[in-house]
Structure 1
Amino acid sequence: MGDQTFGYSAQVRPFLWVFLVLTPFEILLVDLIVPWYWLRAVLLVFGLLGALLLAWMLWMLYKFKHSVDEQHLWLRYAREFEYRIPLAAIENVTQGMTSRSLNKTRSVVDGTLVLEISHSTNVRVLLNEPQEIDLGRRGVHEVTKIEFWADNPDDVVRALRK
């Protein structure tokens, strides 16, 4: 069994692409409207930096996907975070939509690590032993469940049940 990767960004990628495609039009419009050269130059730099950040985010979402290897489930969100869960610690995995409005890409709620995309998760993992999860400034938490979003939850569930 080799590494299997699973995307999680299908809901947000279209919005990023729209903004990336519209950025040149925004730069052109600003160039036509703003009469001062110095301000146009500053706004051009900001527009180009914005386009670079959007392109970087798209690439990171493509490159850093969730994955399952021989020993671990890797949960990622671009370069923002990466959690490694031992497969031996997984008791049960199910598919099911959950909606929340935590407004964070990662949170711990009642012992559950929630990794939501657009306020939703669709894969639930029950752990047979608590795992320590570091949320950075929000501290280290022990979790017994994990909920996360995957573009193809059936494939994730199948990979984790093997």
Structure 2
Amino acid sequence: MGDRSFGYSAQVRPFLWVFLVVTPLEVLLVELLVPWFWLRAVLLAFGVLSALLLGWQLWMLHKFKHEVDDEHLWLRYAREFEYRIPLSTIGSVTQGMTSRTLHRTRSVVDATLVLEISGSTNVALRLDAPLQVDLGRRGAHEVTKVEFWTDDPDGMVRALRK
């Protein structure tokens, strides 16, 4: 089958770029409007840190994509999490938009691992065998279904059905 990677950040990337562009303008306005040097210096440091963090987030979303190889589906969100799902456990793959608005990038709801972007998912996997997923402080859960977002749901479904 070969390795294939799929992005998932097309919905959030424009907002990150807007903030990245607006941050230097904000720093400039602070320099012009705030009379106290010490406060300008502190706000400048926060502005630079903010721009660095936004740039880092954009890079992480670009670098750590979902991937399909010969044995596994790798679902990621930047460096926050990575789940490896053996292709042999995937019973069916469907494409379709769902909205849950759980306000978390990863959750388990009714034995379904939900990896939403902007409150939505567009690919669903039904698993033949339950998998254990670790949600960190929220504990480990057994799941029989996975819903996630990808920027190319058609390509993802084709890659998983091979």
Other-structure match for 1:60: 60
| Deviant stretches of 4+, over 3 Å | none
Other-structure match for 2:23: 23
Which runs of 5 or more residues in structure 2 are unaligned? Answer: none
Q: Which amino acid aligns with 1:149?
A: W
Other-structure match for 1:146: 146
Q: Which amino acid aligns with 2:62?
A: Y
| Structure 1 segment 104-119 matched on structure 2, within 5 A | 104-119=104-119
Give the TM-score of the pair, scaled to structure 1: 0.99
Q: Which amino acid aligns with 1:59?
A: W
CA distance in 2, matches of 1:22, 1:101: 27
CA distance in 1, matches of 2:40, 2:2: 51
CA distance in 1, matches of 2:30, 2:84: 45
SS in 1 for 2:79: coil
SS in 2 for 1:52: helix
Q: Which amino acid aligns with 2:22?
A: L
SS in 2 for 1:51: helix
Other-structure match for 2:39: 39
Once the two structures are superposed, residues 111-139 of structure 1 have per-residue CA deviations (whole angstroms, 9 ceiling, x without a partner) of: 00000000000000000000000000000
CA distance in 2, matches of 1:74, 1:152: 15
SS in 2 for 1:150: coil
* Identical positions, percent: 75
SS in 2 for 1:155: helix
Give the TM-score of the pair, scaled to structure 2: 0.99
Q: How many residues align structurally?
A: 162
Q: Which amino acid aligns with 1:38?
A: W
Q: Which amino acid aligns with 1:68?
A: V
Q: Which amino acid aligns with 1:109?
A: V
Other-structure match for 1:10: 10
CA distance in 1, matches of 2:101, 2:78: 20
Root-mean-square deviation (Å): 0.4
CA distance in 2, matches of 1:110, 1:33: 52
Other-structure match for 1:98: 98
Which runs of 5 or more residues in structure 1 are unaligned? Answer: none
Other-structure match for 1:49: 49
CA distance in 1, matches of 2:65, 2:139: 24
